[in-house]
Structure 1
Amino acid sequence: MKKLIILAVLLISQSIAAQKYFTRTGTTHFKASVEAFEPVEATNHSSTSILKVATGDIAVQLFVNAFQFKVALMQEHFNENYMDSDKYSKATFRGKLSDFSIERMKDQQEFPLNGILTVRGKKKEINTTAKVLFQNNTIKLSCSFTVKPQDFNIKIPSIVRKKIADKIIVTINYELVEKK
């Protein structure tokens, strides 16, 4: 009987350890606006993310050209002149939610989120705090952080430099479901 209980505990713990949550419809938004000028911001509704529950490891990938702007010309300039999205089609993030435990979650909790953001082939360390809510077998994860265009060798022409913020605010909102 003891062996059966131990075997059951091992199987349950392995299934929890193997649990992964994912989304292909995460929202990534950025804002690079300066007051008194037209808003420079865009949203990507097809960010893919996977979270390993046992370790807190998280990976995100998105296609740069999937960012949607309100102004089509801005979107064209973003992809062709700034992001060179034909050459650098994807942006990625690989990181970890520190001290993450799905078993101990009751309400929304905050966890340190640290990792590496790669844009245009350049890597930048990101350290922020993520808000995580586990509800109805869904993990809702949100956070924001700032980056600078020069972090990724993005050249801003002098003619528009004053219209684009020095610091770009990136906000994510992902609703992840269990991957079966």
Structure 2
Amino acid sequence: MKKIIIALFYVLNVSICMSQEKMISKSAVVTFEASVPSFEEVKATNSNVTFVLNTKTGEIASLALMKGFRFKVALMEEHFNENYIESDKYPKAIFRGKIEGFDVNALTDTSKDFVINGKLELHGKTVAIKTNAKMSKSSSGISLQSNLSVNASDFDISIPSVVKNKVSNKINISISANLK
């Protein structure tokens, strides 16, 4: 009995220590835009993205459900989910990466620039990504902001010729996460 109690205490202690290494946000915001000048805005936002940071290693991971993206125009949202991203077949986007030279103790309330290397899995394809991020620390946690661009064609997302002049192949993505 004594060994069982000691083993349970050990497991509990390890899990508490491990949980302090990871910071999480379940309300990170990802916005993408594939607009072309002179045409209707092609932009959507997902405010329920999960984002995890391992403060010991600088490893990050993010998960966005594709049906969580909201457009101003409902028809665009329908076309996005059914024709472009095929949300029933590919329901999520996953990013896994590492922040170069990350040291949680070096963060202050002033934003610091970091480079993130990782892989974005979207529409059944995985593409290497290298981007910059601004990070800062506050009493409520760690803030991360990043912008990057990807090409729809890199993920085998085809834009029909009928709208090729109205939707850009280059997709600008912004990410904002407050990790606690």
The TM-score normalised by the length of structure 2 is 0.88
CA contact 1:17–1:53 (8 Å) conserved in 2:
no
Matches for 1:16-165 after TM superposition, within 5 Å: 18-106=20-108, 107-165=110-168
- Indicate if the aligned counterparts of 1:108 and 1:131 stay in contact, CA closer than 8 A: yes
Do the aligned partners of 2:152 and 2:171 also contact (CA within 8 Å) in 1? yes
Percent pairwise identity:
41
- One-letter amino acid of the structure 2 residue matched with residue 29 of structure 1: T
Count of aligned positions: 165
C-alpha deviation, 1:53, in angstroms: 0.1
Corresponding residue SS for 1:32: strand
Q: Which residue of 1 aligns with 2:173?
A: 170
Amino acid at match of 2:92: K
Q: Is the 8 Å Cα contact of residues 32 and 40 (structure 1) preserved in structure 2?
A: yes
Structure 2 segments unaligned to the other structure (5+ residues): 1-12
Offset of residue 166 of structure 1: 2.5
Distance 1:166 1:76 in 2: 19
Structure 1 unmatched runs, 5+:
1-10
Q: CA RMSD in A?
A: 1.6
Q: Distance in 1 between matches of 2:98 and 2:115?
A: 8
CA distance in 1, matches of 2:18, 2:81: 41
The one-letter code sitting in structure 2 at the alignment partner of 1:166 is N
Whole-Å Cα distance in 1 between the matches of residues 105 and 18 of structure 2? 9
Structure 2: how far apart are the matches of 1:155 and 1:17?
Answer: 41
Q: For 2:134 and 2:152, how far apart are their aligned partners in 1?
A: 26
Match of residue 7 from structure 1: none
Tell me by how many angstroms 1:15 deviates: 4.3
Q: Deviation per CA, 1:89-131, whole angstroms, max 9, x where unpaired?
A: 0100000111111111222101101100000110011101110
